[in-house]
Structure 1
Amino acid sequence: EENSAHFKFQSELPESIDGFIGQGHKNAAKALQDVIVDHPYVHVLGVEGNLGAGKSTSIKILESQLDENTYKFIYFDVDQHH
């Protein structure tokens, strides 16, 4: 009988907290927050990085730091719609 066990070693979902000592994701989120709050004429921000670099985690942290009644986040998964 063939073994049909499936193992999952890594989650591809973004985290809502920064678990790293250097707090790089939290710092990136804070920098984005500063631009959004202090420069209301900026309407588009780009976040660039390699696969697994923490872009989505930084965005999730940013979302948790901003007032949900003032700022709306819309997620679009480009990989599913290419």
Structure 2
Amino acid sequence: MNLNEMMKFVESEYIVINNTPCELCGGSYLTESAGLSFENGKAENITHCVCENCGNEREFFFRAPFINPMEWEKNTDELN
């Protein structure tokens, strides 16, 4: 996956978030933080959001096929 494809993939995540109304009040979610998780050798992008109206918190989980867990661990080890 090249950089342009990766950016389109991430952009599609924010399209989902921006088009998902709060289940409590119908307000819009604002992104508070984003991070990666590795479960069973698969990468997930986790985005923590808060409703701008009522403060309801929600996490969105998206697969992250552009992240290779083995390569990520190698690069992280090199930084330490």
With the length of structure 1 as denominator, give the TM-score of the two structures: 0.28
Q: Rg larger in 1 or in 2?
A: 1
Which structure has greater strand proportion?
A: 2
Higher RCO (C-alpha under 8 Å, 6+ residues apart): 1
With the length of structure 2 as denominator, give the TM-score of the two structures: 0.29
